[in-house]
Amino acid sequence: MLQAERLAVKPFLQAVRFDAAGLVAAVVQDAATHEVLMVAWMNAESLRRTLELGETVFWSRSRQEYWHKGATSGHVQRVVDLRVDCDGDALLIRVEPAGPACHTGAVSCFYRGLALDGPQSDASQGDASQGNVPPIQSDQPHQAADADTRR
């Protein structure tokens, strides 16, 4: 993991930009394996509780309540690093997880991938034994915005 510019709590919190619903996206990454485990949401209070507790506390959009990850399952996520992105609308939380991140029991919530064994393959199920997959090929020209500044 690259070195980060380190901010104190107050400037760090000031750098976070919550959206119109008061939320910021939080990417949770295993600090040891670097596996991306899950994406969840935080409001200002859940971020405050995360800092206070040293474990992830999210805001559940579906249940509309605070969600201390692992409170029932025991699979808490101990926070070892907290980052904010350049425009403040996403957090990266590196953790030591006490168990699987996903409610399905999977280590990561990202356990489903696209089978890229050919250009827009239509095989009903890909080969789960493959690690890296080849890039998607296309001979069609691409028309997209030619700007690469801010999102």
Least distance from a copy of itself to the Cβ atom of residue 23, Å: 11
Between the alpha carbon of residue 50 and those of residues 12, 57, 68, 89, 110, the distances in Å are 14, 5, 8, 17, 23
Minimum distance of a copy of itself from residue 44's CB (angstroms):
15
The binder of a copy of itself chosen from 18, 44, 98, 126 (CB under 8 A): 126
Binding residues for a copy of itself, how many (CB under 8 A)? 102
d(CA 57, CA 47): 7
Binding mask 30-49 for a copy of itself (x = CB under 8 A): -x--xxx-xxxx-------x
Least distance in angstroms from the C-beta of 75 to a copy of itself? 7
Return the residues of window 128-147 that contact a copy of itself according to CB under 8 A.
128-138, 140, 142, 144-147
Q: Does the protein bind a copy of itself through residue 9 (CB under 8 A)?
A: yes
> How many angstroms separate the CA atoms of 149 and 59, rounded?
30
Site for a copy of itself in 59-98 (CB under 8 A): 60-63, 65-73, 75, 78-87, 89-90, 92
CB contact burial 75-110 (16+ within 10 A = b; e otherwise): bbbebeebbbbeeeebbbbbbebeebbeeeeeebbe
